[in-house]
Amino acid sequence: MTSEIKIAPLPDRGVVAVDGPDALTLLQGLLTNDMSRLDTVPAVFAGLLSPQGKILFDFFVVRTPQGLLLDVARDRAGDLVKRLSLYRLRAAVTIRDVSADHDVVAIFGGSRTTDLDHVYADPRLAALGARAIVGKAEAVVSTATAADYHDFRIGVGVPEGGRDYAFAETFPHEALFDQLDGVSFTKGCYVGQEIVSRMEHRGTARRRIVPVLGTAGKLVEGQPVLGGDVEIGRIGSVAGGRALAMIRLDRAQEFAEKGVPIKAGDSTLVLDIPAWAHFNTAATPS
């Protein structure tokens, strides 16, 4: 039996418009993903990094008949405009925060289609469904809430910036960009590229965001994850007894081999690595 599709407005998402003949060229030299892919797909997942290779912004770049729209955390939209404008120089590009004119909607949990404008499959993972950027005047019939969507996202095991990892403190591999089609290792230079490439080829990403299951007690966002008395991570988004946590996987492996339980508060944790994730849970450098 086909499950009914769910449509949830995401009020914490904003929209930045990047217009002009040099828009794609500008973004190609800045972002983690390859903008030439927009010739064949409607959207890509990407990040803008610091020169030190840490994520400053994550977003979706969506190609529409009116130009490029970036689906970004609403409270980061203004700062993203400022940051992109620093790199614009003499490029023929206009960069604007158009969050006041648009809403972002998540479409998930079913296979029925929708007639909303600017719908695109979530480029991170097919299981996440789709998203849409709609005009404020467009009527959207909600069948779910943003909380429902985030519970679903946590169930799939996909992290989100600002909830599961801190901006300006996290490398793309730690936030699973390499697992969720958010970084190109073949496109050439972009801001922070050398650090990301080095982590990829040396296998030095010891921290990763992974789903965890609590066997007892209540999981709370921000709780430290402990192996014995040693902090090896921190809880992020929580949905009931399941959460996403940034964890030093090499330390988690070490404690598991010693028979020392991993805990958060009163809850013993079990790592629940999703089938779509392909990385070494021991996370030891090659």
pLDDT for the residue numbered 112: 54
The pLDDT confidence band at residue 1, using thresholds 50, 70 and 90, is very low
What residues form DSSP beta bridges with 130?
Answer: 107, 121
Residue 284: pLDDT band by 50, 70, 90 thresholds? Answer: very low
pTM, rounded to two decimals: 0.93
What's residue 218's pLDDT? 87
Query: Structural domains in the chain?
Result: 7-156 (3.30.1360.120), 206-271 (2.40.30)
pLDDT tens by residue, 201-241? 888 788 999 999 998 878 999 999 999 999 999 999 999 99
114 or 163, higher pLDDT? 163
35-85 per-position pLDDT tens digit: 999 999 999 999 999 999 999 999 999 999 889 999 999 999 999 999 999
Rounded distance between C-alpha atoms, residue 96 and residue 99, angstroms: 9
Q: What length does the chain have?
A: 286
- Does 285 score more than 70 pLDDT? no
**SS3 annotation, 130-181:** EEEEEECCCCCCCCCCHHHHHHHHHHHCCCCECCCECCCCCCCCCCCCCCCC
